[in-house]
Amino acid sequence: MKARTLGIIRQVIASIVLSISLIIFGNMVGWPSPVLFEIREHGRPMNLTKMEQSLMVSIIYLGNLISPLPMGYLMDMIGRKTAILSLSVVPIISWTLLMFARDVIRLCIGRFLAGIWAGTVITIGPLYLAEIAEPKLRGALSTFVQLNVGIGTMFAYVVGSYVNYDQLAALSNVFSFIFILLFWNMPESPYWLTMKDRDEEAALSLAWLRGEHVHVTRVDMSIMELSLGVHEEMQHPRNFKDLVATKGHRKALIIVQVLAMAQRWSGISSILAYMSITIPERNYGQLTVNHCVMVFGGLLVLFVLLSTYFVDCWGRKPLLLTSSIGCSLGTFLVGLWFYMDDQTNLDVSDYYWTPFGGMLIYIVFFSIGLGPIPTTEQGELFSANDRALASALTSMTLALSSFICNLIYLPIAECFGMFVNYLIFTVVSIGTAVFVKTYTIETKSKTLHAIHQELDKKNDATGNEMYP
């Protein structure tokens, strides 16, 4: 087998294994949907007030909020691989607590620990994928983050419809053990090893990832290029002030933070968690509400899978623009139906399928752009020196946005009407389209070093681009 083909296979294998950690996270995100349906319809395994239901759904993001910053420092200290393996016991404890929870306190503790794991994988996962992948594969492999979150969510939707509360938690816990067994044998990030001046280990890691022998000229040249790039980027001290010290740093930070907020405020967290109790309780042809949730999860997985091709074929910027516009259309249709149903005298009961249809439009467009690409950008736009801290900050932004979205979703629906939630989501998506068009840069097929140079570019008096 040719070295290049073997290298691609190995990079894909490493990405798939790492992404099992994101399947675990996806399980945790999708878990409330079948559980809330069971609690509301049958009171099993416990009864919860609406406020307790909102807290159960959203508290995962509170744990997510506090974990990224320490995870950012930890992965710089002990390595990307070692850090995520060290925390792999957290989801095991979380699922075990949830399996035996019969009161809201243990339920919330288990969900809070799930948030600690979420912050860990969202901070470290995209960074690890960006650092092991070749430039031409980086976009496609980075979409594995959203793909596997979708697979995990789909697992919770499908399995949760056929098993009871305890069995769902037990089956979800199996992924934690599989991840530990498989990821143990994956290589450490060659970027991190180079940062620590462990060039020999970096060469071994890179050789495995590229399918080459350690002393092949191509590996030696790649290590030299990697070392030069990393050491150039490491000249500046790493702190929060450094993230806004230059034009390039500021632009990278703004792009990633805005896309992170846009991803969550477009509605994804709330729709994933509350879909089963949002769409009208009717049969959609042969489909029950639970079947509709499964279809939704299936489309999420399918179109994120397709985006692994589109993201490096069409580029990040066109997909983000198309995705934002499509998401706004989907949430507008959902909001319009709820507005006409709640606030007017019009009888729209014959069009009960509209919210579900709007959500399907939303998830198709979300899955090709707003879902996977912010994660890709997170791993691409920051230098080696800033990447861990920036990833931690981005994870905190994602967590805070999701926490607020999920916490206020039911109270807004009760006080003002469900349509207000979807009006907010629509406005955010439209604003995101404007932002993408006017401010973001294209990173398709560029090395990390070239991307950072483009972020730092300046224009001279004649309008020509200059690099510092």
The predicted pLDDT at position 313 comes to 73
- For 31-80, the pLDDT digits (tens) are 988 888 788 777 777 788 888 888 888 899 888 888 888 887 888 889 89
Task: Classify residue 12 by burial, with Cβ atoms within 10 Å: 0-12, 13-18, 19+.
Answer: middle
Would you put residue 460 in left (φ > 0), alpha (ψ -120 to 50) or beta?
beta
Compute the distance between CA of residue 301 and CA of residue 285 in angstroms, rounded to an integer.
23
| Ordered structural domains, the chain, with CATH | 1-186 (1.20.1250.20), 241-458 (1.20.1250.20)
β-bridge mates for residue 287, sequence order: 284
Neighbouring CB atoms inside 10 A of 213's CB total 10
Residue 270 half-sphere exposure toward CB, CA atoms < 13 A: 28
Calculate helix-pair angle for 289-313, 268-278, nearest 10 degrees.
160
Say if CB 123 and CB 71 are below 8 A apart: yes
Tokens of 313: 């074929």
Burial class (CB in 10 A: 0-12, 13-18, 19+), 224: exposed
The angle that helices 247-265 and 387-415 make with each other, rounded to 10 degrees, is 30
Alpha carbon distance, N-terminus to C-terminus of the chain: 43
Within 386-426, strands assigned E span none
Strand 465-466 and strand 458-459: the pairing is antiparallel
Global model pTM greater than 0.85: no
The pLDDT tens digits of the residues spanning 397-412 come to 888 998 899 889 989 9
Q: List the beta bridge partners of residue 459.
A: 465
Check if the beta carbon of residue 452 is closer than 8 Å to that of residue 233. Answer: yes
Residue 402 one-letter amino acid: S
Q: Do 173 and 167 contact (CB within 8 A), yes or no?
A: no
* Residue 241 φ then ψ, to 5°: -60, -35
Please list, residue by residue across 275-312, b when 16 or more beta carbons sit within 10 angstroms of its beta carbon and e when fewer do: bbbbbbeeebeeeebbbbbbbbbebbbbbbbebbebbb
Contacts of 413 by beta carbon, 8 Å cutoff, 6+ apart: 420, 421
- pLDDT beneath 70: ranges in the chain: 1-3, 138-140, 142-143, 212-240, 242, 283, 285, 308, 311-312, 379, 383-385, 388, 445, 448, 458-468
Give the separation between CA 25 and CA 148, rounded to whole angstroms: 9
On whether the CB atoms of residues 272 and 129 are closer than 8 A, the answer is: no
Q: What is the DSSP letter of 447?
A: -
Q: Residue 307 corresponds to which tokens in the numbers above? A: 């985006």
> CA–CA separation, 77 vs 407, rounded Å?
34
Count of helices and strands (H, E) across the chain: 22, 2
pLDDT at residue 463, as a whole number = 41
- Which pLDDT belongs to residue 322? 94
